Structure 1
Amino acid sequence: MESKVRFVLCSLTILCSLVLVLVNNNVLFFHISHIRQNTSISFEINDTCKSLLRKYLKLQITEAQLNGLISICKTDGYLNDRIEFDMPVLNKVLKNLTCGIILKKLINSTISLIALASFPGSGNNMTRGILEAVTGFEASVSNRKVLCPSRGYAFIIKTHRTNDIPQSKDCSRVNTHRLNYKKAIYILRNPYNALLAEYKRRRTFSKRFETKTQTQFEGDYFGARWERFVILQSKIWKELTIYWLNTFNGPVHLVVYEKMLAYRMTEVYSLARFVNASITLETLLCTKSNFIEDRKRTYVNWLSEISASEMFDVKMRKFVNKIILSTNEIVKLKILEEYILPEI
């Protein structure tokens, strides 16, 4: 009897051991299969992103296709939070990507004029380059030296004014007293950064500045002249913002400078739709090319490293913050609240 009990106990022990081995093997099999499945999914996503880029490159892309492409390529790691491709990466993936942009001039065009308005220093040159790449046509500026835009050679007109009165001397020759913009694009940038950018442009526009060190130029650059500039020009920033976002009698597309830099693909697509331009994926991708990037102004190293927060003391911050808040009471844009600097 005792031997039978021992046999049963031994058999149960062996059986339990076998069960444990089988369970562990199943767990291991499940784990390996899970890893293989994830690897397969990752590989398929990689391949899909590349294939979509190649598929849509030369085609006019819809908003749904663009959003789908962004979603897949972002999941795959081709896009970061800024929704921006790196050009070296694109050049490897897309062997036939060409960003040579040749602009055309319109001849006696009857297309309604669109104002490209902004406070100086807000990225108008960059946005104008993007619009030229998207439309394929040269844009114009509103100043005394150019031909009158009413001659029909361009339909997007850069301006820093709060009206449609032409600045070109040529306009009087063709009896044009108003440009009659039917639409407007207004570029909004953090006024602290826009003021600093415009001041840099005005004060560093000559070769003599490039030969001066920071110490030599500092007294002139950061003195009372700067404070007077901030007080006067911040009021102009307010006038421009209120006019184009509240007073102008026509459709207005708002370009937020910071969003254009951060989410270029979706922002450019939205801008293209506003000017009724069909856009291919290639054109969209090429808005990051040198044709656009070269329009950004550069400064000597020490000046480029200065931030807006360093340039505005407490007195100036209080003044500019008040300008921003009073502007927001009229135009009611949440982004303006983000531009406020601490008054300490």
Structure 2
Amino acid sequence: MTLFRCQDNCAERGYLYAGLEFGAECYCGHKIQAINVSDSDCNMECKGEKNNICGGVNRLSIYRLELAQESARRYGSAIFRGCFRRPENVSVALLASRPMKNMSVDRCVDFCTGKEYPLAALAGSWCHCGFPTTLFTLHEREDEELCAQKCSGEEFESCGNAKYFIVYQTQVQDNRCMDRRFLTVRAKQLIALASFPGAGNTWARHLIELATGFYTGSYYFDGSLYNKGFKGERDHWRSGRTICIKTHESGQKEIEAFDAAILLIRNPYKALMAEFNRKYGGHIGFASHAHWKGKEWPEFVKNYAPWWATHTLDWLKFGKTVLVVHFEDLKRDLFVQLKRMVSLLDIAVLEDRLLCVEGQKDGNFKRSGLRKLEFDPYTPEMRQAISGYIRTVDSALKRRNLTGVPEDYYPR
């Protein structure tokens, strides 16, 4: 046990606090229902690191966590979506409502779950249920202080008020975007979903399938992905039955075989680590410590880092119609970026369906974030080389009047 391991595990699961006790125990939670005691009561060194304290006997060292943007705060099984302004017509925007005595998050979430709605919106003593729609998109989050009215039946949680709603996502699946099928009319053009390995191609396929209702295909065949529900994996990539084709190829002949492409680009530092994890741990696993510390990692970076740059350069040079999407932008603003991607596929999609995708975005195959290593795997020499590749790609994008690479590609 170390401070880092406990905080990282709690943050990855969306909790606000991490608490360490007895030198080796880690607890996660959203609220603290105990009094402060003297710091001297926390006097047990962490079992996994010297000179750091991990609580004591019946004493917790507690840390408030800074959650990454993609982390989901939770309340039990429900995901916290935020504080939002009351929609103009509540009875139209939200489909079931009920006043509650002793209002609590649990009561409202349980009520909406029972009604089989994916959203629970708390408004003081009222509980509303429904779906994300164009009338209630959940895109314009408000300051949580505007919702900070305590629940009548729960001392430590906010229940919103008549003007500002606290919203949770229940465990009920939003089925408006879950149907998937093959194209019944052969596709007029072959569209590639092109990326360097580790850049989020499988995740993007998941999003596209939810958004369009059609299966994506692949230049390869991956049985594990087929078993995860990517039924287009077994189709030949030229079958014309799938909406777009996954490919990591970067040669001129392979690129010119496609009529158009969505080119997904990701920070090379993150992409290289993700592909290394996949290579040695599978689609949702992780490489072992021995692999990171052994000869495999430096050899991998030596061979793959230059390919990260040439992959993008080749698609920009030989691709006929190329839509560039940065993985980081897709995570940050999924609705807008996915709408761009779908427009290239020439599919008319209702906005309510895209809003449904936002609630189902992770799927059941996605690795739960990059496991944070307790050391930097990149040597100064590796970083110097990768920074050069980043500058090359940035210049190539800007020469085509496209947005350059995001600033966070450069190490800080």
**CA distance in 1 between partners of 2:335 and 2:197 (Å):** 24
**CA distance in 2 between partners of 1:282 and 1:162 (Å):** 36
1:263 to 323, 333, 342: 333
**CA distance in 2 between partners of 1:306 and 1:128 (Å):** 28
- 1:121-270 equivalences in 2 (<5 Å): 121-143=198-220, 146-163=234-251, 180-205=257-282, 217-244=288-315, 246-270=316-340
Dislocated runs of 4+, deviation >6 Å: 68-72
Question: Which amino acid counterpart does residue 405 of structure 2 have in structure 1?
Answer: I
Q: How many residues align?
A: 258
**CA distance in 1 between partners of 2:90 and 2:273 (Å):** 41
State the shift of 1:274 in Å.
Answer: 2.2
**CA distance in 2 between partners of 1:96 and 1:116 (Å):** 27
User: What secondary structure sits across from 1:310 in the alignment?
Assistant: coil
**CA distance in 1 between partners of 2:347 and 2:207 (Å):** 12
* Alignment correspondent of 1:46: 86
1:317 aligns to 2:387 (yes or no): no
CA distance change for structure 1 residues 46 and 148 in 2, over 3 Å: closer, same or farther? Answer: same
* Alignment correspondent of 1:29: none
State the shift of 1:54 in Å.
Answer: 5.5
1:104 aligns to 2:177 (yes or no): no
User: What secondary structure sits across from 1:151 in the alignment?
Assistant: coil
Could you state the TM-score of these two structures normalised by the residue count of structure 1? Answer: 0.63
When Rg is computed on C-alpha atoms for both structures, the one with the higher figure is: 1
State the shift of 1:97 in Å.
Answer: 4.9
CA distance change for structure 1 residues 248 and 52 in 2, over 3 Å: closer, same or farther? Answer: farther
**CA distance in 1 between partners of 2:272 and 2:356 (Å):** 29
Question: Which amino acid counterpart does residue 204 of structure 2 have in structure 1?
Answer: T
Q: Which runs of 5+ in 2 are unaligned?
A: 1-83, 96-132, 145-165, 223-233
Deviation per CA, 1:81-111: give whole Å up to 9, x if none.
Answer: xxxxxx963569xx99534612111245042
**CA distance in 1 between partners of 2:219 and 2:246 (Å):** 6
CA distance change for structure 1 residues 316 and 106 in 2, over 3 Å: closer, same or farther? Answer: same
1:89 to 138, 162, 168: 168
Contact 1:49 1:73 in 2 (8 A): no
**CA distance in 2 between partners of 1:70 and 1:288 (Å):** 10
State the shift of 1:329 in Å.
Answer: 2.7
Could you state the TM-score of these two structures normalised by the residue count of structure 2? Answer: 0.53
User: What secondary structure sits across from 2:250 in the alignment?
Assistant: coil
User: Could you say what the CA RMSD is over the residues aligned between the two structures, in angstroms?
Assistant: 3.9
**CA distance in 2 between partners of 1:222 and 1:119 (Å):** 24
State the shift of 1:250 in Å.
Answer: 2.0
User: What secondary structure sits across from 1:253 in the alignment?
Assistant: strand
State the shift of 1:285 in Å.
Answer: 1.8
CA distance change for structure 1 residues 280 and 292 in 2, over 3 Å: closer, same or farther? Answer: farther
State the shift of 1:144 in Å.
Answer: 5.8
* Alignment correspondent of 1:4: none
Question: Which amino acid counterpart does residue 306 of structure 1 have in structure 2?
Answer: L
**Higher helix fraction: Structure 1 or Structure 2?**
1
State the shift of 1:311 in Å.
Answer: 1.6
**CA distance in 2 between partners of 1:201 and 1:72 (Å):** 33
Deviation per CA, 1:273-321: give whole Å up to 9, x if none.
Answer: 222222223311222344643231248xxx72328x8221211111111
State the shift of 1:139 in Å.
Answer: 0.6
User: What secondary structure sits across from 1:255 in the alignment?
Assistant: strand
Question: Which amino acid counterpart does residue 139 of structure 1 have in structure 2?
Answer: T
1:326 aligns to 2:392 (yes or no): yes
Contact 1:183 1:250 in 2 (8 A): yes
**Higher strand fraction: Structure 1 or Structure 2?**
2
* Alignment correspondent of 2:355: 285
* Alignment correspondent of 1:339: 409
**CA distance in 1 between partners of 2:347 and 2:409 (Å):** 32
Question: Which amino acid counterpart does residue 278 of structure 2 have in structure 1?
Answer: R
1:115 aligns to 2:192 (yes or no): yes
Deviation per CA, 1:143-187: give whole Å up to 9, x if none.
Answer: 268442322221300000014757xxxxxxxxxxx9732210011
Question: Which amino acid counterpart does residue 284 of structure 1 have in structure 2?
Answer: L
Between stretches 136-145 and 68-77, larger displacement belongs to 68-77
Q: Which runs of 5+ in 1 are unaligned?
A: 1-43, 56-64, 78-86, 167-177
**CA distance in 2 between partners of 1:230 and 1:186 (Å):** 22
State the shift of 1:269 in Å.
Answer: 1.9
**CA distance in 2 between partners of 1:286 and 1:263 (Å):** 14
User: What secondary structure sits across from 2:197 in the alignment?
Assistant: coil
